Chain A
Amino acid sequence: GAVVSQHPSRVICKSGTSVKIECRSLDFQATTMFWYRQFPKQSLMLMATSNEGSKATYEQGVEKDKFLINHASLTLSTLTVTSAHPEDSSFYICSARPGNYEQYFGPGTRLTVT
């Protein structure tokens, strides 16, 4: 149980385009989902917290207009990287939380912007 999927697993896009990443909780409902970014050989950096039906809460320094988050249902959250640039290339990981504290992580999406 407690499986979280992400799609796509890898994506390559051209600079200036937008790309959407989906995060789904497959066997549970998640009131809260989180989006993280991980640079090579570094830790996870929390980007934003999304709650179903409300606006996402972004961490300090994260551009909300660049990283659009939509938590449309209790099993789906999407992250859209708008007007992507090479510096946005990274490993993006989502997690879903059914209760108060334990998070279940997706397998990650590697974004490469050329």
Chain B
Amino acid sequence: AQSVTQLGSHVSVSEGALVLLRCNYSSSVPPYLFWYVQYPNQGLQLLLKYTSAATLVKGINGFEAEFKKSETSFHLTKPSAHMSDAAEYFCAVTRGSGTASKLTFGTGTRLQVTL
């Protein structure tokens, strides 16, 4: 069964520092992987997605993620954190295929950005 594991429920970085949010996946088939961001009391916004094309995926707000099959990882990075990046981040993987596909979410990582 497809699943994702997010290491670290809470990550704190200084403004301007590198952001690294970890996600490892488990999938018996080539996965589609996603990173979403959620601000307080809001829905989810798609940051980026991997759909078996380029392994380095660039998303919005300066975020990117690299799909590493050998490590079963899809970590999210941003070179320089901004205060506005403080939010909850979810990694997700598709389970099922085609019209029957659904998303399985990780437990989330709360990113705190300090001055």
Taking the complex as formed, is B51 at the interface, i.e. its CB lies under 8 A from any CB of chain A?
Answer: yes
Find the residue from B44, B98, B101 having the highest chain A CB count within 10 A: B44
Q: Say what secondary structure dominates the interface of chain A.
A: strand
Q: Does A49 contact B (CB under 8 A)?
A: yes
- At the interface, yes or no: A105 with Cβ under 8 Å from chain B? yes
- Whole-angstrom CA separation of A6 from B41 in the bound complex: 13
Interface size on A, residues (CB 8 A): 25
B residues less than 8 Å from A110 (CB atoms): 41
Choose, from A62-70, A71-79, A80-88, A96-104, the stretch at the interface.
A96-104
A105 touches B108 (CB 8 A): no
Q: Which residue of A lies closest to B104 (CB)?
A: A46
Would you give the shortest CB distance from B102 to chain A, in whole angstroms? Answer: 6
Binding site for B on A (CB under 8 A): 4, 6, 31-32, 34, 41-44, 46, 49, 51, 91, 93, 95, 100-108, 110
